[in-house]
């Protein structure tokens, strides 16, 4: 899928994140592919997913564009979403439409740099780069490094971003006023109303994850909700 088709297909539409890590009950490429199929039936136009095997399974099952990432911990860095060239190469093998990667200003493992990784992806493939950021400063840095779109994935998960219960609407609003590239609203979007507000603030598209694809968290919200005063 070329750049223009991808951006027009996701414009003001819903992307669903279908991820289950090893410690989660639904960890399985088969299950994530079925989850993605369900998301497609419900109206998702693209899927965000973790690991090359899940990306391949979801592409095969749904035919939708997939935003792939690899979560892996490194001892010398806080960065864990597509941190190094190793994860980039794993993903390129399965040809995702987009690779999502941590694009915060934090130090990467092995002294690698965002700019080099973005350049490698663009030189080797037609795959686009989604920059997962937490602050305006991160977004400015990511744009300098040549990324194709910005997502607010990491707001609330880094030392220098606010810890909010809900989505970071202010960050999206500010980014949309100045960014030359599309802004994707992502992180703790838990209701259709919050999703619509993101789009009204100028987000090009939105990613919803846990509220759709993590049933253990959905169940918890009900279990806790019925006992709340
Ligand atoms: C911080 C981090 O690791 N976020 C991950 C990024 O890929 C996913 O676990 C989230 O589910 C995704 O960002 C969607 O967000 P939410 O599940 O809140 O709708």
CATH classification at residue 142: 3.20.20.70
Rounded CA separation 183/199 (Å)? 10
pLDDT single digits (tens) 11-47? 999 999 999 999 999 999 999 999 999 999 999 999 9
- Rounded to the nearest angstrom, the distance between the alpha carbon of 5 and the centre of ligand 1 is 25
Residue 208 in contact with ligand 1 by CB distance below 6 A: yes
Rounded CA separation 209/99 (Å)? 17
Residue 219 in tokens: 């169940």
Tell me the H-state helices in the chain.
3-10, 29-42, 52-62, 85-92, 114-124, 136-144, 169-178, 192-200, 210-213, 215-225
pLDDT at 1: 83
Alpha-carbon Rg for the chain in angstroms: 17
Asked if the interface predicted TM-score (ipTM) of this complex is over 0.95, the answer is yes
Q: Which of 45, 65, 54, 42 is nearest to 18 (CA)?
A: 54
pLDDT of residue 228 exceeding 90, the answer is no
- Rounded to the nearest angstrom, the distance between the alpha carbon of 15 and the centre of ligand 1 is 12
Pocket test for ligand 1, best of 185, 187, 203 (most atoms within 8 A of CB): 187
Mean pLDDT of 108-132: 98
pLDDT at 40: 98
Pocket test for ligand 1, best of 106, 210, 213, 221 (most atoms within 8 A of CB): 210
Residue 158 in contact with ligand 1 by CB distance below 6 A: no
pLDDT at 187: 98
168's CB contacts (< 8 A; 6+ apart) are 152, 155, 156, 161, 162, 187, 188
Residue 189 in contact with ligand 1 by CB distance below 6 A: yes
What does pLDDT average to over the chain? 97
pLDDT at 133: 98
pLDDT of residue 181 exceeding 90, the answer is yes
Q: Does the predicted model carry a pTM greater than 0.90?
A: yes
Q: What share of the chain is helix, strand, coil (3-state, %, to 5)?
A: 45, 15, 40
- Rounded to the nearest angstrom, the distance between the alpha carbon of 48 and the centre of ligand 1 is 9
Q: Of all protein residues, whose CA lies closest to atom 14 belonging to ligand 1?
A: 209
* Biggest distance spanned by C-alpha atoms of the chain: 56
Convert 125-158 to b/e letters by CB count within 10 Å (16 or more is b).
Answer: eebbbbbbbbbeebbbbbbebbbbbbbbbbbbbb
pLDDT single digits (tens) 72-105? 999 999 999 999 999 999 999 999 999 999 999 9
- Rounded to the nearest angstrom, the distance between the alpha carbon of 17 and the centre of ligand 1 is 7
Residue range(s) defining the domain that contains residue 46:
3-225
Residue 209 in contact with ligand 1 by CB distance below 6 A: yes
- Rounded to the nearest angstrom, the distance between the alpha carbon of 79 and the centre of ligand 1 is 14
pLDDT at 229: 72
Split into its structural domains, the chain has a count of 1
- Rounded to the nearest angstrom, the distance between the alpha carbon of 152 and the centre of ligand 1 is 10
pLDDT single digits (tens) 52-63? 999 999 999 999
């Amino acid at each position: 899928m070329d750049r223009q088709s991808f951006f027009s297909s996701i414009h003001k539409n819903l992307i669903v994140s279908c991820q289950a890590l090893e410690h989660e009950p639904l960890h399985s490429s088969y299950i994530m592919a079925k989850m993605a199929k369900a998301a497609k039936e419900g109206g998702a136009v693209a899927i965000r997913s973790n690991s090359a095997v899940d990306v391949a399974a979801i592409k095969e099952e749904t035919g939708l564009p997939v935003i792939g990432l690899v979560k892996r911990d490194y001892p010398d860095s806080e960065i864990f979403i597509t941190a190094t060239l190793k994860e980039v190469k794993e993903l390129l093998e399965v040809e995702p439409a987009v690779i999502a990667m941590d694009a915060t200003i934090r130090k990467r493992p092995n002294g690698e740099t965002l700019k080099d990784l973005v350049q490698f992806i663009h030189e080797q493939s037609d795959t686009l780069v989604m920059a997962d950021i937490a602050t305006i400063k991160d977004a400015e840095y990511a744009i300098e490094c040549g990324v194709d779109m910005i997502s607010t994935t990491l707001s609330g998960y880094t030392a220098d971003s606010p810890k909010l219960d809900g989505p970071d609407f202010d960050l999206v609003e500010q980014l949309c006023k100045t960014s030359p590239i599309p802004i994707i609203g992502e992180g703790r979007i838990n209701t259709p109303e919050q999703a619509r507000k993101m789009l009204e603030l100028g987000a090009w598209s939105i990613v919803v994850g846990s509220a759709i694809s993590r049933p253990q968290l959905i169940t918890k919200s009900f279990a806790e909700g019925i006992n709340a005063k």
